Amino acid sequence: MSAEQTWTEQEIERLGALIDAWDPASGEDLADEVALALDAVPALRERFDQRFARAVPEATLVPEGLEDRVMPKPANRRWMWLGGISALMAASLSVVVIGGGLLVTTATYGTRSAPNEALLDTTVTVEPARRSDLRPTHAPPATRTLPGMTVDDLRGRLVDKKPVSDGDLRNLGYVDGNGDGTIEIPPATEPVGHDGFDDHGVSPFRDTREQPLSTFSIDVDRGSFTWARRQLRQGFLPDPASVRTEEFVNALDYDVPQPESGPFAVQFEGSPSPVSDNELVRITVAARDATVRQPVHLVFLVDTSGSMQGPDRLELVKTSLGMLVEQLQDGDTVAIVTYSGSAGVVLPVTPATDQATILRSLDRLTAGGSTAMGQGIQLAYDLAHETLRPGHTNRVIIASDGDANVGVTKTGSLTDGIRRYAKEGITLTTLGFGQGNYQDARMEQLANDGDGNYYYVDGEEEAKRIFVDELTSTLEVVARDVKIQVAWNPETVVRYRQVGYENRALRDRDFADDAIDAGEVGAGHTVTALYEVERVRGSSGELATVRLRGKPPGADTASTEWTYHMPAGAMQPSFEQSSRDHRMALTTALFAERLRHSPYVMGTSYDRIARLADAAARPGHPEDQQLSELIHRAAKLSGPSSCREVVMKVNGEQRVMWVDENGIFCD
């Protein structure tokens, strides 16, 4: 039969009967007669699917020559037909692809074709999903296959969801490239062990008329970024739960003018998003520099347990703290406490001018034994209390992999005393080292409760940045318990969502409650918060009022508030016309959101993010080149994609795009 032939009802019925009656034992060849008809006759295609679809338990054998015509078929799957003598066929799958908040409801894979309106009639709204909705792509030790996401998986993992029919739910999940319900994961060498991260989910959009206030604690940590840098340089993607977007954004430096008066200056800028129909707003808070550094009294609390053996653990601790010692000055003091099976004082309080004694004590440290972190923390704070001086900086610095397996081991119990000492003016810096059993969640929480900051040290480069380049910012606190509350204007902003800061979110009433702990800001630090917003069309009024609240450094004191206004003039007409600082901050956030599988950017490829980073790179900012390098690494690690053209319905509008086998947009 020719490809142009029209099949009669009798011919269709004859071929259907052949399909129904086919017996694998007969060896009968159906390929020549059935192949073209499958492409041209929907009724016959449906009959073939019912007989041979993989979802049918008895469909274990398929006529020779037609194996590649069998598709996984949910009960109510929809098909779009592409005829052709080449027998090229496309499968239309109802999928959800979320990119910048846009919900894609129907995709047709294959060659160019006119979209069939009948197939584009379903709207599926699911927002937001937790990161665990989308399987991590960091590679296991060897090649393996991962099953597609089931309906029950989806139901159990959604944070917020609107009613979706069972039929539509069956079509959600990965679109597999193998055609057998699996996705091939390329081989890679992954560190063996149990690194500990907390998954805090992804912030959803909020209606401004219902929830105009967004309240959170300030955060200057960047441990998440440094951890990801190490993973990427070692050849695999970081665990999505390890990625905290705000720590990526705050790992970069921004050029913000110094405050004219008071401890803070606030800068606003916004622009259209480069990946969605919404706009992105950047709020950057710059703390004043310190003209004179106050004397510091430091207690190094060093984990010398067996898990700290190795050049990237205890040996790197010695190098890092040695850099800090060499930067100290007259009037500063250092003491050293270690813990393994028990805790002990290695060096009593010693003037920083006696560098030789301090460095010699560090050099003698060796690793071995279990981990009595709780005992070590108590001893270190007791020692720090002896040197507590009003007007001076009093700080404990913990260097550890975060493990605790002897005595007090629960993070909540470890932090009880830390909070009490923080109120007296003894702050805490945590330095994370190692991988394989690294407890990121604990190290971050200790720093949060200790009114301090958290760093992950992946090498001497990071140690130098912390203790040489940024020593004053690391040690000198400008304000404590700093909170931010953004009051969005319902007349100009329809809805918003904060990008990052999920584990720093506060209740709105916590803003004015001085008993609620929040973050600290060091001298010269800049802190950036990003929001994705949908503005009211044609509006031109003020976007938001931003209030900061914080306490002066030292013992527990009353808070002060500062108020700033975000004008409509802060919004730039295009992404390209915004400042390089703005573009780099947004690109960095996109990278982090993509790494942590945020549903709002899963339609954006690493290659596209890399191009944005390359275009926004700022002269004199080597960290921009480093970021670009990491994005390119992530693009390679995510693997080559087989891109196909799709016809999609996005918010009611038909679009033709290219996506890969995972539903990610190709460029």
pLDDT for 328 beyond 70? yes
Quick: pLDDT tens for 450-483: 988 999 999 999 999 999 988 888 888 888 899 9
Of the candidates 235, 236, 223, 234, which has an alpha carbon nearest to the alpha carbon of residue 197? Answer: 223
What is the C-alpha to C-alpha distance for residues 198 and 232, in angstroms, rounded to an integer?
A: 20
Give the integer Cα–Cα distance in Å for 448 and 199. Answer: 17
Domain boundary among 533, 561, 579: 579
Read off the amino acid at residue 39: D
The per-residue pLDDT for 110 is 33
Asked if residue 595 is part of any domain, the answer here is: no
pLDDT category at 572 given cuts 50, 70, 90 is very high
Mean pLDDT for 341-369 is 92
pLDDT at 655: 58
- Section 50-65 average pLDDT: 53
Both 471 and 498 in a single domain? no
Regarding whether 557 and 532 lie in a shared domain, the answer is yes
Q: Is residue 570 part of a domain?
A: yes
Read out DSSP for 156-206? Answer: HHBSS-----HHHHHT-S---SSSSSEEEE-------S--B------PPPE
Q: Is the pLDDT at 433 greater than 90, yes or no?
A: yes
**Is the pLDDT reported for residue 607 higher than 70?**
yes
Give the CATH number, domain containing residue 242: 2.60.40.1230
Instruction: Say if residue 286 is in the same domain as residue 311.
Output: no
β-pair partners for 302: 338, 399
CA 54 to chain centre: 36
Model pLDDT for residues 173-185, shown as the tens digit of each residue = 322 333 333 323 3
**Structure confidence at residue 478 (pLDDT):** 87
Nearest one of 475, 466, 484, 483 to 553, comparing CA atoms:
475
pLDDT of residue 46: 75
Q: Are 196 and 439 in contact (CB under 8 A)?
A: yes
Percent of the chain with pLDDT over 70: 69
Establish if 110 belongs to a structural domain. Answer: yes
- Tell me the CA distances in angstroms from 478 to 291, 461, 467, 472, one per residue in order: 12, 26, 18, 10
Q: Are residues 243 and 341 in the same domain?
A: no
Strands 264-272 and 493-499: unpaired
Is 383's pLDDT higher than 60?
A: yes
Q: Tell the residue number behind the tokens 């503005």, with chain if given.
A: 535
Cα dist from 120 to 95, 176, 616, whole Å: 11, 21, 38
Q: Please, are residues 403 and 305 in contact by the beta-carbon 8 Å criterion? A: yes
Statement: residue 562 has pLDDT above 70: yes
Indicate whether 134 belongs to any domain: yes
Residue 127 within a domain: yes
Q: Which range scores top for mean pLDDT: 67-76, 135-144, 336-345, 487-496?
A: 487-496
Q: How many angstroms separate the CA atoms of 172 and 122, rounded? A: 13
pLDDT, the chain, mean: 76
- Residue whose C-alpha is closest to residue 60's, from 51, 48, 73: 51
Is a pLDDT exceeding 70 seen at residue 268? yes
Q: Which residues, including other chains, have CB under 8 Å from residue 158's CB and lie 6 or more apart? A: 126, 129, 130, 133
Question: For the segment 518-531, what is each residue's pLDDT rounded down to a tens digit?
Answer: 988 988 899 999 99
**pLDDT band (50, 70, 90) for residue 161:** very low
**pLDDT at 144 > cutoff 70:** no
Report which of 507, 540, 534 is spatially closest to residue 207, judged by C-alpha positions: 534
Residue 69: predicted pLDDT = 53
Tell me: pLDDT of 544 over 90: yes
As for how many domains the chain has, the answer is: 4
| pLDDT average, residue stretch 607-632 | 94
- Between strands 453-456 and 426-432, the pairing is parallel
Range of the domain at 311: 296-475
Query: Residue 49: its pLDDT value, please?
Result: 72
Q: Does some domain include residue 664?
A: no
Do 504 and 558 lie in a common domain?
Answer: yes
Is 53's pLDDT higher than 70?
A: no
Pairwise pLDDT comparison (341 vs 634), residue with the higher score = 634
Q: Is residue 381 assigned to a domain? A: yes
Are 470 and 484 part of one and the same domain? no
Give yes or no: residues 367 and 504 share one domain: no
SS3 of 586-614: HHHHHHHHHHCCCCCECCCCHHHHHHHHH
Sign of the alpha-carbon dihedral angle for 561, 247, 470, 610: negative
312 and 413 both lie in a single domain: yes
Q: What's the confidence (pLDDT) of residue 326?
A: 94
- 132 pLDDT higher than 80: no
- Rounded CA gap, 300 and 325, in Å? 11
Residue-level pLDDT at 18: 79
Q: Given this model, what pLDDT does residue 231 score?
A: 94
Looking at the predicted structure, is the pLDDT value of residue 323 above 70?
A: yes
Q: What is the pLDDT of residue 553?
A: 80
Same domain, 369 and 466: yes
In order, the DSSP letters of 269-299 are: EEEE-SSSSSEEEEEEEEEPPPSSPPPEEEE
Residue that wins the pLDDT comparison between 25 and 124: 25
Residues 97, 129: Cα–Cα separation, whole Å: 12
pLDDT at 195 over 70: yes
Beta-carbon count within 10 A of 327 CB: 14
The pLDDT of residue 155 is above 90: no
DSSP conformation class of 130? P
Evaluate if residue 656 carries a pLDDT over 80: no
> Are residues 32 and 180 located together in one domain of the fold?
no
Amino acid (one-letter) located at 402: G
Residue 343 has pLDDT above 60, yes or no: yes
Query: What pLDDT band is residue 411 in, cutting at 50, 70 and 90?
Result: low
Specify whether 400 is located in the same domain as 464.
Answer: yes
Q: Which two tokens stand for residue 232?
A: 């990427």
Beta pairing class for 92-93 and 644-650? unpaired
- In this predicted model, which residue has the larger pLDDT, 87 or 590? 590
**Residue type at 496?**
Y
Q: In this structure, are residues 491 and 539 in contact, taking their beta carbons and an 8 Å threshold?
A: yes
On whether residue 196 sits in a domain, the answer given is no
SS (H, E, C) 489-535: CCCCEEEEEEECCHHHECCHHHHHCCCCCCEEEECCCEEEEEEEEEE
Answer with the one of 30, 54, 69 that is the final residue of a domain. 69
pLDDT at 101 over 70: no
Q: In this predicted structure, what is the pLDDT of residue 62?
A: 59
Among 456, 475, 494, residue at a domain's last position: 475
Residue with tokens 């989806």: 154
pLDDT of 29: 61
Kindly report the length of the chain.
667
Selected residue with higher pLDDT from 611 and 88: 611
DSSP 242-256: G--HHHHHTTS----
417 and 340 within one domain: yes
**Comparison of pLDDT for 327 and 122, the residue scoring more:** 327
pLDDT band of 96, cuts 50, 70, 90: very low
pLDDT at 317: 96
How far is 436 from 363, CA to CA, in rounded Å? 25
What was the pLDDT predicted at 331?
93
pLDDT digits (tens, 9 = 90+) for 620-637: 899 999 999 999 999 999
- Side-by-side strand order, sheet with 426-432: 343-351, 333-339, 296-303, 393-400, 426-432, 453-456
